């Protein structure tokens, strides 16, 4: 009989543990993202292909976009372009990773045009410890732009 009394407590603990994880999507306009350097305002970069209708862009080689978050995973959401675009990401001061944002299905065009594919996950980090993390977007070596759109 004793084990039956502990069953509701066990089920409650499991439900709280499962319900404790929640995906939160952050748009490029969210104040949780700290932009340094020169960035084009998202209000000038509007497209239905962007998460939330806009993205934020920089051609400044010293610019950075920093997101601090607490969680066990992070996903970088961004549209794709019909020309060479990439952004460099670094999580918790780790080795930078260059993320290719070129649309492999589009005919190549000269740099400077609009997106050709909708925002989707371009990079992710999972199985993180449930602590505070710092994700930094910066200019990739020989890159042209840094792009911030959405994070989950």
Q: What is the pLDDT of residues 85-141, one digit of tens each?
A: 999 999 999 999 999 999 999 998 888 889 999 999 999 999 999 999 999 999 999
Q: pLDDT at residue 1 above 70? A: no
Based on DSSP, count helices (H) and strands (E) in the chain, helices before strands.
1, 11
- State whether CATH 2.60.120.260 applies to domain 22-151: yes
Of residues 124 and 8, which shows the higher confidence score? 124
What radius of gyration, in Å, describes the C-alpha atoms of the chain?
Answer: 19
Domain positions in the chain? 22-151
Percent of the chain whose pLDDT exceeds 90: 79
Of 9, 1, 149, which Cα lies nearest the Cα of 75?
A: 149
The mean per-residue pLDDT over the stretch 6-15 comes to 36
């Amino acid at each position: 009989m004793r084990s039956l009394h502990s069953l509701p407590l066990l089920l409650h603990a499991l439900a709280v543990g499962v319900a404790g994880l929640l995906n939160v999507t952050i748009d490029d306009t969210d104040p949780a993202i700290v932009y340094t350097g020169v960035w084009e305002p998202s209000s000038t970069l509007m497209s239905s292909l962007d998460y939330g209708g806009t993205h934020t862009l920089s051609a400044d080689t010293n610019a950075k976009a920093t997101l601090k978050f607490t969680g066990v995973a992070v996903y970088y959401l961004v549209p794709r372009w019909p020309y060479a675009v990439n952004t460099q990401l670094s999580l918790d001061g780790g080795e930078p990773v260059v993320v290719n944002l070129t649309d492999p299905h589009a005919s190549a065009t000269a740099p400077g045009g609009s997106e050709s594919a909708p925002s989707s996950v371009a990079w992710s980090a999972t199985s993180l410890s449930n602590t505070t993390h710092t994700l930094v977007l910066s200019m990739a070596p020989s890159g042209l732009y840094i792009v911030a759109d959405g994070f989950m």
